[in-house]
Amino acid sequence: MNKEELTCFIKQRARELSFLDCGISRSGYLEKEALLLEDWLRKGYHGKMSYMENHFDKRLNPSLLVEGAKSVLSFSYNYYPQQLQNSDSYHIAKYAYGEDYHTVIREKLQQLVEEIREKTGEFSYRIFTDSAPVMERNWAQRAGLGWIGKNSLLLSKQKGSFFFLAEIICDLDLVYDSPFKTDHCGNCTRCIDSCPTQAIVEPRVVDANKCISYLTIELKDEIGKEFTEKMHNWIFGCDICQDVCPWNRFSFPTTEDKFQPNKELLQYTKKDWEELEEKTFQKLFKNSAIKRAKFLRLKKNIEMSKMKEE
């Protein structure tokens, strides 16, 4: 196979494996992004995620992750659910409705790698699913998958933003896509205006210290009392800046069975959440990303939302 044929094969198989898109960019140092990342860290916008300070160069140079890297393959995978939680319940981010995406997507990409290997023989690669220091949104934009919106997420005119991103960094020489250069956010500021904690401090810059997703998942300390009235019943993650985005009117339900929500979860009322016991938690979220927060943390988030109502 020449590189044109191999590129076509990869993209065709990605579609057959149910990925929304697959784009390919040339590996190289992210010089512009380095300055932005340095400024973001200097301002302390990463909160207490100290790991964001680690492996600075690896985040910007794929060759430090895969020796001799030539290509960064970017993939998007739809997770928008067919059904949503009751509006009067406590909320969890839609990406956590089903099984843990790390496992589901990695398995698909590993299958793709095996099929590529059958065509090319051995090659060097690594698969990434939000699991290592990779600037995934920047690579996805370079691969033509969309643009980075004012909420700092990757947006697509045809598909919105309710999708996961993943990458294969490898030493294969492939045909490269053109970067997505047009910003289709225009003058819209709905995501900035709708964020109850004002976490989007400027277009494409999020202060994690104020972000509900960070506060309910990443932060190990108690959530500050100044946020008590601003959590809007979110107990694991937050989708507000995506829900208000006009481009998400084009979101459509995923066909991935493993991302479909547990019917019991959809029926949960606030009372059910408040009475949740650890045994039920372990059963209900056995293969879910929610287990990352652990039972006691989830209960604390619920208690905080409950305090607001009282």
150 exposure class (CB count in 10 Å sphere: 0-12, 13-18, 19+): buried
Q: Which of 307, 171, 145 is nearest to 235 (CA)?
A: 307
130 is catalytic: yes
Q: Which of 21, 130, 183, 257 is catalytic?
A: 130
Angstrom CA distances, 9 to 22, 24, 75, stand at 11, 13, 14
Any residues with CB less than 8 A from the CB of 250 and at least 6 apart, and which?
156, 157, 158, 159, 160
Q: Which of 287, 272, 247, 234 is nearest to 94 (CA)?
A: 234
For 51, how many CA atoms within 13 A lie in the half-sphere containing its CB? 6
| CB-CB neighbours of 121 under 10 Å | 7
258 exposure class (CB count in 10 Å sphere: 0-12, 13-18, 19+): middle
Which residues are known to be catalytic?
A: 130
